[in-house]
Amino acid sequence: MGRDQLFDLLRFHGMLVRRRKRSIVTTDSFHWLKKYPNLVEDVSVCASEQVWVSDITYIKTIEGYSYLSLITDAYSRKIVGHCLYPSLASVGCIEALNMALSNRLFLERTLVHHSDRGVQYCSGNYVEILMTNNVAISMTQNGSPYENALAERMNGIIKSEFIPRRRYQNHNEAKKAIDRIISTYNQQRPHASLNYMTPDAVYENTGQMQKKWKNYPKNPSTKQIEV
């Protein structure tokens, strides 16, 4: 029995421990900046650098919170850009984006950047970098996590599987650890959705994988979601 089936069984019998509600809000979509339509709702991804998904999560330290920006390739599940920043300023997202763009291998492929409608992703500097690099801009429309499910899933994997239970002392300690964690994830963490290969091993492949980008239901309560 795999992890997902085990959790389904525990959930069915009411044996899962409830997660505490997040106390930190990382997305502020109530702003005047331009928002963009969802371009990936019906997209089938068959190679790397066709769709990138982005999101921000927080990392607790003894001295406070740091904020982790991740950019993940939807086909290979590889984290192509990341940045741990001490605030929610758009600088952290921009650093992650610049890292991802600098490491591109397939410049001839049409690339879509998908994110929520957070102010960081709508900021003028972030949008300008995407446009300068001919990257199409896609955003969620209604705030549902299912519209950016892969990015949400990546946050969960990094925090639940790789972040130790002990808190880091400060931002600098956490930043060094995150760099090691991302490297380990890309090179060593197999995925069922990648035929149990690692993101690095899949990144230069093409063709349909066992599981890939899913079309998520409009009513999430009516169907089990796989990511």
The H or E element that residue 67 is part of is strand 64-73
- Per the CB < 8 A criterion, the answer to whether 26 and 118 are in contact is yes
Domains along the sequence of the chain with CATH: 26-206 (3.30.420.10)
pLDDT of 224 over the 80 cut: no
- pLDDT-derived band at 26, boundaries 50, 70, 90: low
Q: What percent of the chain has pLDDT over 90?
A: 53
- Per the CB < 8 A criterion, the answer to whether 120 and 97 are in contact is no
Q: Read off the pLDDT of residues 125-149 as tens digits, 9 standing for 90 and up.
A: 999 999 999 999 999 987 666 778 8
Return the C-alpha torsion angle 149, 45, 103, 161, nearest 10. 40
* Whole-prediction pTM: 0.78
Which residue in 105, 6, 26, 110 sits closest to 68, CA to CA? 26
CA angle (198, 199, 201) in 5-degree steps: 65
Q: Read off the pLDDT of residues 53-99 as tens digits, 9 standing for 90 and up.
A: 999 999 999 999 999 999 999 999 999 999 999 998 999 999 999 99
